[in-house]
Amino acid sequence: MLEQAFVGTRKYYGLLAGLGFLIALGALGYYQQLTTGLGITGMGRDVSWGFYIAQFTYLVGVAASAVMVVLPLYLHNYKAFARIAILGEFLAVAAVTMCLLFIVADLGRPDRLFNIIKYPTPGSVLFWDMVVLNGYLILNIVIGWNVLEAERNDTKYKPWVKYLIYVSIPWAVSIHTVTAFLYAGLPGRGFWLTAVMAPRFLASAFAAGPSLLILLCLLVRAFTKFDPGREQIQTLAKVVTYAILVNIFLFFCEIFTVFYSQIPEHMMHFKYLFVGLEGKGQLVPFMWFSMVGMIVAALAMVVPKVRENENTLAWACGLIILTTYIDKGLGLISAGFIPNPLEHITEYWPTGLEAMITLGIWATGFFILTVLYKIAVSIKEEVRA
């Protein structure tokens, strides 16, 4: 099957070359970071996690959302999703790879990476995150590959694959739950100290991930002979609709608890995000755009006419991806650190080099995604020919 990755049109190679260029740029930036230290980023002693960890958090959600295709297919025997399950699984592979790369990019001493395995510490959530992310990566590669190969050979996949699929469903939930637990169990960070962190992560993931999948399906239809199918896209759209509504609901649950209780340690972070503190509030316009945009998109998705028209659907999905990205990728991580535990306010904004490395990792993910989708789509085309 891998041979399919090496035969393609000029457009395919052009895309890979473009992504390859971005990867090279990112690698250059990373080399600079390795030699002079993480000081090249905008992070500091007060905001000690930044863009990298935020991307990681967002992408764990994208990865976990594959389960929204896998679960209806294998647990509810919703046959229509058999056509696109592989797209969800391969999206998960690319997303988890990016997650792992972002973690490595964030480490001060990547040369000692394997200390996590050498001195395993089950009390640390980060240890478990390493376990579940790597496990999820392997699960999706093995499952995706075997199912696709069986489809190509016009056979049924081997029985043991079925068990792996069953395991992969709760596993997908676990990766985002464990990632939420990274933040939600820290005593000094009022912003993160909330039990709805994991549920909210899952809700926003199940909105953003399938939205991305819808856009990818539309792209696949536009550029290849394989049509992921109208019904499939519509079902995904309903998943997105409910998930984004739940996400907004949970956000307001949080707002209620924080502002009705009036506990300053919890309120001050929300105040920083939405009105600014002591004249510092560079995220304020972003956060308002994010929340208003998210609500607008959610309401639009509820209207059947909007959802059923694939043009307006694409716009709504794009808006959901953007707004959840701002919420999780910009606001969530830095606001946990602002103000700091001593109530000093130091703001954070990523530097150019940091953005370049980030872009390089995204390009790596899309490189992997392009190759995997190329394989999957070629085989789908071949089977249907």
Partner 1 sequence: MDHNGNYKNEFGWFADKPKVPKKLFNFKAVFIGVVIFVVLVTSPLWKNLGQVIPGPDPQLNTAAIMKLPEKDRTCVESKEYMRANHMLLLGEWRDEVVRDANRDYVNSKGKKYLASLSNNCMECHSNKSQFCDQCHNYVAVVPNCWGCHWEKEKEKKQVAQSEAK
Partner 2 sequence: MGINRREFLRLAGLSTLLGLGGKTAFELLAPGQLEAQQYVPEPGAFKAKRWAMVVDMRKLDEKTAHKCINACHLTHNVPDIANPVNPAAAVSPEEQVRFRIKWLWKEDFHNAFPGDEHDNLQEKLHHMKFLVLCNHCDNPPCVRVCPTKATFRRPDGMVMMDMHRCIGCRYCMAACPFGARSFNWRDPRPYIKEVNLNYPTREIGVVEKCTFCDERLSKGQMPACVEASGGALIFGDLGDPKSKVRDQLRTYFTLRRKAHLGTYPQVYYIV
- In the complex, which residues of this chain contact partner 1 (CB under 8 A)? 3-4, 7, 149, 153-156, 382
CA separation for the pair 55, 104 (Å, rounded): 12
Residue 43 binds what, of partner 2, partner 1, none (CB under 5 to 8 Å, by partner type)?
partner 2
Task: Compare residues 17 and 154 and give the one whose CB is closer to partner 1.
Answer: 154
Q: Nearest distance from residue 334's CB to partner 2, in Å?
A: 12
Residue 156 binds what, of partner 2, partner 1, none (CB under 5 to 8 Å, by partner type)?
partner 1
Binding site residues, partner 2, CB under 8 A: 36-39, 42-46, 48-49, 103, 106-110, 112-113, 115-116, 118-119, 121, 123-127, 130, 182-183, 186-189, 264-265, 336-337, 340-344, 346
Task: Compare residues 116 and 142 and give the one whose CB is closer to partner 2.
Answer: 116
Residue 382 binds what, of partner 2, partner 1, none (CB under 5 to 8 Å, by partner type)?
partner 1
Q: Nearest distance from residue 5's CB to partner 1, in Å?
A: 11
Q: Nearest distance from residue 4's CB to partner 2, in Å?
A: 38
Q: Nearest distance from residue 129's CB to partner 2, in Å?
A: 9
Task: Compare residues 156 and 238 and give the one whose CB is closer to partner 1.
Answer: 156
367, 381 in Cβ contact below 8 A?
no
Task: Compare residues 192 and 366 and give the one whose CB is closer to partner 2.
Answer: 192
Q: Nearest distance from residue 21's CB to partner 1, in Å?
A: 23
Rg (CA), the chain: 21
Q: Nearest distance from residue 249's CB to partner 2, in Å?
A: 27
Q: Nearest distance from residue 45's CB to partner 2, in Å?
A: 6
Supply φ then ψ for residue 157, to 5 degrees: -65, 160
Q: Write out the two tokens for 33.
A: 């970071």
C-alpha count within 13 angstroms, C-beta hemisphere, residue 62: 33
Residue labelled with tokens 């995997």: 372
Residue 260 binds what, of partner 1, partner 2, none (CB under 5 to 8 Å, by partner type)?
none
Task: Compare residues 156 and 230 and give the one whose CB is closer to partner 1.
Answer: 156
CA separation for the pair 188, 193 (Å, rounded): 8
CB neighbour list of residue 55: distance below 8 Å, 6 or more residues apart: 98, 102, 329, 358, 361, 362
Supply φ then ψ for residue 277, to 5 degrees: -125, 135
Task: Compare residues 8 and 293 and give the one whose CB is closer to partner 1.
Answer: 8
Q: Name the packing angle between helices 51-64 and 85-106 (round to 10°).
A: 160
Cβ atoms within 10 A of the Cβ of 45, count? 8
Supply φ then ψ for residue 47, to 5 degrees: -105, 90
269, 335 in Cβ contact below 8 A?
yes
Cα 3 to Cα 6, 8, 374, 375: the distances in Å are 5, 10, 10, 8
Residue 153 binds what, of partner 1, partner 2, none (CB under 5 to 8 Å, by partner type)?
partner 1
Task: Compare residues 187 and 285 and give the one whose CB is closer to partner 2.
Answer: 187
336, 8 in Cβ contact below 8 A?
no
